[in-house]
A and B are shown apart, each in its own frame.
Chain A
Amino acid sequence: MDEGDAIAYTMTRVTEHRNVAYLFGDDRRREPEGDTLAICRRDTGSYPDLMWSILAVRAARMHALKLWPRVVGLALGLSVSATALAADPVVDPEESAQEQPAADEAFTGADVRSDSTDATPNPREAGGVVEGDPGAHRAVLWAPRAVLYVPRLAVRAVAMPLRGFAFLYDRYQLPTKFANIFFMDDGKAAILPLANIETGNGGQYGARMFHKDLFGKRERISGRVLFGTLDQRFVGFKASSGDRLSSIVAVTAAASYWQARSHRFFGIGNNDVAELPSADRGAETIDPLADATAIDTRFKADTYEYRGGLRFKVARGLSLNLWTTLAYRSFTNLRRGESSSVNTTSVYERDSLVGYRNGLAASQTGLRLTFNNFRRVAPWISAATPSTGWKLLGEAEYTDGIRPTDPSQFVTYKFDVQRLINLYRGDRVLHLRLHWEGVTGPLRRVPFVRLPQLGGPVQLRGYPRFRFRDRLATFSVVEYRYPIGEVATGYLFFDSGRTFRSYSDIKFQKWRVGGGPGLIFHTRQDFLARIFVAFANDGSVFFNLNFDPLST
């Protein structure tokens, strides 16, 4: 043979079988330990699985390094044609395998790989099993697997967009980019999305911005903008001098505009909701000051408020706020065709709705003393779900009309006591709350929108917002919080309360009760969102989803 000539060999794995009488189940009749490898000169067979072109020098080195067993392993029963191959005519894989060190001899030396690895089986063949299947017993599960195939597809379908989002989130460092968009100045400033969805009030969506340390002395500004269904708008700004003037006293200022295009009014009192009077009742309207009939009506309200004040840090957790507010309110009817809701003035006597006809312009001067030592008892508990402590509030505010058309002249007062009781390890917590609120003037001197109110997502859950209003209102909360996961806390609550016309009117009849389950989503440090559904004892249901990250 001249140098450079090519010679073809065919390598065939001859497989050992007990018999070959059946078309199927070939694996069960195999006896792999009897397999041999045949190598013959020339190419044989029509469809070789692999073709290698190997230089003679390389083939010789393979031979010298005993690489043939590896070739055999790669061949896996395939017939192979190769050119320029110089090798032993037949290589028995079993003989090669027996060149391995015995089990008790294999690890007598240091942790160094030897050339013997060239004679070792590939990873799949190390088990040496030639008959039987250790996993065969799982085959009986084909039926439930088939049933569960559809849910598996559903999981995959749900996960696909999540996975895609997560991929983008990671691939393009979205957390950092989001942080750059929403947080500025090392996290001291942020713009955050807001959303609130509740029964009877539609959805409100917007944003909140704040800067917690404007000039290095905790000077703080914040703003909130909300737009919603039912044509609601809210824009508000607040500022505080922080520690700029003193670490004890801060000057505060605020301004806001709230446009409620579907403010609800259910009359004044604690009555059950009544049916809308039929048309044959004519033009007779209800005097809400004298008749407590409750009918679900709506009106439009525009409110502007400008506030200036002082905040004193009296002691740790104890603070005193003083303020004066100028508030302007105007009310109008819903336009015909604007809403399917009932206009308030079509049911209730307009002139008995104090301030409705001419609007309100009043100064409100007040003080508030608060003590708050809510705290978590362990660092792994979210700051948004404190474990123990007291929160006390006492507030009084004098309102005086600054226009002759505003008859306001009354004092509003509030007392609120909250107690967190750590039941177990700081995350099974009982929250107790008692709230009392009242106004001092007669109803003719108190605009109907300034009366103490119950209902909505905080005060007597289970009832719609503004469901009850009167001169006195009280409610209590018994809430049990329990942990679900790192970012979720569950709670069950039971609220009760009612409104009264006067202290002599206080009685324990027709008490309003609501309750239900809820979830709080949070990070280790901050509140993210809350969702709950509440059921009231008059059959009403109230749902609320509030997304307000980093609020307290």
Chain B
Amino acid sequence: MTWRIFSFVLLALSACASSPVSKIRFANRPVAWEVNDRSDVPVAPRNRPFLMNAYRVESVEGHIEGTLALHGKPRAQDINALGEVPNSTWFTNRVGVREVSLAEVRRGPEANEPADAYLPWTITATKVGGLAPGLLFKDARGEKYILKFDRPQQPGLDTGADIVCQRLLHLLGYNVPSNDVVTFRREDLRLAEDAEVKDLFGNTRAMTAEDLDATLARGNPPDAEGKFRGLASKYLSGKPIGGYARAGIRDDDPNDAIDHEHRRSIRGQKIIFAWLGHTDIKQDNTLDMWIEDRDTHYVKLYLLDFGNALGVWAMSNPIPWSGFKHSVDFSYGAASVFTLGLWVRPWERIPDAASGIEGVGWFESELYDPANFKSNQYYPPFTFTDRFDGFWAAKIIMRITPEQIDAAVRAAAYNKEAHAYLTRTLIERQHKTGKYWLSQVAPLDEFVVRQNGDSHELCFDDLMVRYGFEPESAVTYWAIAYDRAGRETGWKAQRGKHAGHQICYLGLTPSRSKDGYMVVRIAPQSDTETLPGVEVHLAARRETGALQIVGLVRE
């Protein structure tokens, strides 16, 4: 009897282990590239206040609890069957999926001219909160803006970083406000009759010309022509309801269906922000807007305030470990205690992070480590970031061309030296990011299946080869087809040393499973190692019988 049970268990285990393909199966339908999270929310969700210190405590607590919960890294949930993030109120695919001209990159999300084309401005209030000085104003058309400045003796530092990141994040697919570098003279500013000064406690008083001059004096002084440089950020349309929570959902927004820490569009920001040296990540640097769109209302989610990116935070505080560790980082603290300071921490290998160029923060590429980026505060979505999120983010980062990076930097109106340095550094960091994260999964992408007579042709790109991170001849791709139940169909192929970054297999025919469902597992093998495989799930269209890709599973 015992032997029978043992044999049964063995048999069951061997049956489980018999197929190398996963148990995941996809619906036979075209891949969804857009989700509907714009259902009418007729009442504005409540405003979510941001409390910085409570946020810090909760972040640290959440990190410890999360570690003890052994939650691991569950896969992201806001993805389509290809592992891509479909268009939503959070994210809109742009670069690489449609033509984005250099002019569009330079211009950003706003089609109109910058605010300094509509002078004079009417100052309505001083900015509340934040360390940097600022003003609220209306341009000659009546459009509302917030005006921020560079800190004294640092022309271009804050405003430039904000513009570069805003342009690149928009290009990558995120919602950002319309920001522009603007110049103006003191005489272009007029004080509104009801202009007021507000403090943190909500107390207000009438704003005077002296208040205005005092605010201007807190920023970088005007140039020789008497022109101030500032950053004009246009008011977002709709009603602001606070930033989005770093974990969980907004429970009064029925469209917010996926925990934020399980959104690839947020988890992937870890890789994107690492590239951009943007460490000041917190709820306060996001903003949800309840907007009216035709006859419906929904919440649209924005990223804000990038003035501390590109190493500005590190330089202005100054903290050389920005991006390397959290401000309260138990792992680094413990390591320092137990090694009595003998351990040389990663940032300490940088001889001098300062480039010495006016307008440039501590932003370098030599010791930039895309694998070990840390935000200033614990940010739960980033603790869940896995190699699949990293692959997605690196993939869209790599789609940005050097010319597009140059155009984004050009929008910030830096001096020539800063422009050249930042463009070069961003490109170098982009390549480091791509090289690391694309190699963490099978770097195969852009799968296409085409009918070719009676059979089908399956083609894909090796991104590591495409971007020159790996020589063409270094990889062999083994492919085996399975039916829906995970049994081999008999189709096998090996693409040998290839001559380009695109690889095609011929002779694929639908399996005998329902809808001709089949799984083609492709396992790349380099000269030194077997890399994780990728499963391409195919099914025949019901109307034509032609195979279509219904899903991808990356190992």
Contact = CB atoms under 8 A, between A and B. Distances in A.
Interface in A73-111: 73-74, 94, 97-98, 100-104, 106-111
A104 B446 CA distance: 10
B329 A485 contact: yes
A141 interface: yes
Contact of A484 (B68, B327, B336, B551): B336
B531 to A, nearest CB: 19
Given A97-B32, A144-B70, A127 B79 contact: yes
A138 B36 contact: no
A107 B319 CA distance: 42
**Most chain-B Cβ atoms within 10 A of its Cβ — which of A121, A171, A424, A428?**
A121
B23 A131 contact: yes
A480 interface: yes
A128 B26 contact: yes
Contact of A129 (B81, B98, B342): B81
17 contacts: A94-B27, A97-B30, A97-B32, A103-B82, A120-B32, A123-B88, A124-B257, A125-B35, A129-B27, A148-B68, A152-B69, A159-B60, A428-B341, A483-B336, A484-B336, A486-B327, A486-B328
Contact of B36 (A118, A148, A162): A118
B375 to A, nearest CB: 15
Contacts of A132: 22-25
A339 to B, nearest CB: 39
A485 B341 contact: no
Contacts of A125: 32, 35
Contact of A155 (B27, B31, B39, B68): B68
B34 A117 contact: yes
Contact of A121 (B28, B32, B82, B258): B32
A70 interface: yes
B226 interface: no
Contacts of A417: none
Given A123-B257, A490-B340, A170 B35 contact: no
Nearest to A101: B33
Contact of B98 (A94, A111, A481): A111
Interface in B36-67: 36-39, 49, 51-54, 56-58, 60-61, 64-65
Given A128-B29, A490-B337, A173 B200 contact: yes
B54 A170 contact: yes
A436 B493 CA distance: 85
A482 interface: yes
Interface stretch (B89-97, B205-213, B521-529): B89-97
At the interface, is chain B mostly helix, strand, loop or mixed?
Answer: loop
B74 interface: yes
B33 A135 contact: no
B24 A380 contact: no
Contacts of B86: 120, 126
B159 interface: no
Contact of B35 (A33, A110, A123): A123
Contacts of B32: 97, 100, 120-121, 125-126, 128
Interface in A154-169: 155-156, 159, 162-163, 166-167, 169
Contacts of B201: 173, 176
Nearest to B88: A123
Nearest to B72: A138
A217 interface: no
Nearest to B63: A155
A167 B27 contact: no
A375 B60 CA distance: 33
B450 to A, nearest CB: 11
Contacts of A138: 70-72, 74
B320 interface: yes
A122 interface: yes
A5 B66 CA distance: 56
Given A107-B33, A169-B53, A485-B332, A135 B65 contact: no
A492 interface: yes
Contact of B37 (A102, A122, A130): A122
Given A126-B80, A131-B24, A97 B29 contact: yes
Nearest to B53: A166
A103 B82 CA distance: 10
Contact of B81 (A119, A128, A171): A128
Residue with the greatest number of chain B CB neighbours at <10 A, chosen from A101, A108, A126: A126
Nearest to B329: A485
A488 interface: yes
B318 interface: yes
Given A134-B75, A425-B348, A107 B26 contact: no
B34 A167 contact: no
B115 interface: no
B333 interface: yes
Contacts of A32: 27
Given A124-B257, A159-B60, 5 more contacts: A94-B29, A129-B551, A134-B74, A141-B70, A166-B53
* 8 nearest A-B pairs in the assembled complex, by CB-CB distance: A482-B341, A170-B51, A132-B24, A107-B97, A132-B23, A159-B61, A128-B81, A131-B25
A141 B72 contact: yes
A25 interface: no
B550 interface: yes
Nearest to B26: A128
A380 B25 contact: no
Tell me which of A113, A129, A135, A159 has the highest count of chain B C-beta atoms within 10 A of its own C-beta: A129
A282 interface: no
Given A94-B29, A128-B27, A73 B36 contact: yes
Contact of A171 (B51, B64, B94, B342): B51
Contacts of B341: 424, 427-428, 480-483, 490
Interface residues of B, number: 77
Given A163-B61, A380-B319, A490-B336, A126 B25 contact: no
Contact of A379 (B31, B54, B318, B332): B318
Contacts of A144: 70
A94 B550 CA distance: 13
Contacts of B448: 104
A151 interface: yes
B78 interface: yes
A484 B337 contact: yes
The residue among A155, A490, A492 with the most chain B CB atoms within 10 A of its own CB is A155
Interface string A506-539: 0000000000000000000000000000000000
A502 interface: no
A116 interface: yes
A441 B215 CA distance: 65
Interface string B477-521: 000000000000000000000000000000000000000000000
Interface in A348-381: 378-380
A124 B79 CA distance: 8
B259 to A, nearest CB: 11
Contacts of A42: none
B77 interface: yes
Contacts of A151: 68
Contacts of A119: 36
B87 interface: yes
Chain A CB within 10 Å — which of B53, B61, B344, B549 has the most? B53
A17 interface: no
Contacts of B71: 138
Given A124-B77, A134-B74, A109 B98 contact: yes
A111 to B, nearest CB: 6
Nearest to A486: B327
A373 B33 CA distance: 65
Contacts of A122: 35-37, 257
A145 interface: yes
Interface string A280-296: 00000000000000000
